[in-house]
Amino acid sequence: MSDENIATVRRLTQEGFVGGKVDIVDDVVVEDCIDHDPIPGQGQGREGQRYTCQMVVSGLSNRSTLQDDFLAVGDTVIENWVFQGTHTGDFLGVPATEKQLQVRGIEIWRLADGRIIERWGVVDIAGVMEQIAS
């Protein structure tokens, strides 16, 4: 089960956030997913996860992961990541600056039946805002 759970989370990251296929959220996140640490403006449930994915895809081009490490424990997957992209659209409420941004975060995803049902996480939004302001 651990390998399958990692594959689900990796699919969300690589196909959704990096690859721009926002609809992948519908495949891997349950409708009533609980996010314990939503970003500003994000609601709950699948739509909240879709909002975040769409914001990243719309706000950053040339997206890639510089680091994407996974550890599975029981029904949870811990993901430690560094993401980069060019700020070419509205991102976190800030209009495009054309700057190259790096975003760092760590997430804990809980899964059931191969789908994400809960998320906890810390995303370095302050670090992103510092990069935008410099």
Residue pLDDT, tens place only, 33-56: 999 999 989 999 999 999 999 999
Rounded distance between C-alpha atoms, residue 17 and residue 11, angstroms: 9
For residues 109 and 119, the answer to whether their CB atoms sit within 8 Å is yes
End-to-end CA distance of the chain: 44
Q: Which domain holds residue 59?
A: 2-133
CA-closest candidate to residue 49, choices 18, 78, 22, 89:
22
Number of structural domains found in the chain = 1
Look up tokens 């994407």; give the residue.
68
Q: Where are the alpha helices (DSSP H) in the chain?
A: 2-11, 24-28, 45-59, 125-133
Residue 16 pLDDT level (bands cut at 50, 70, 90): very high
pTM of the model: 0.95
- pLDDT of res. 1: 65
**CATH at residue 61:** 3.10.450.50
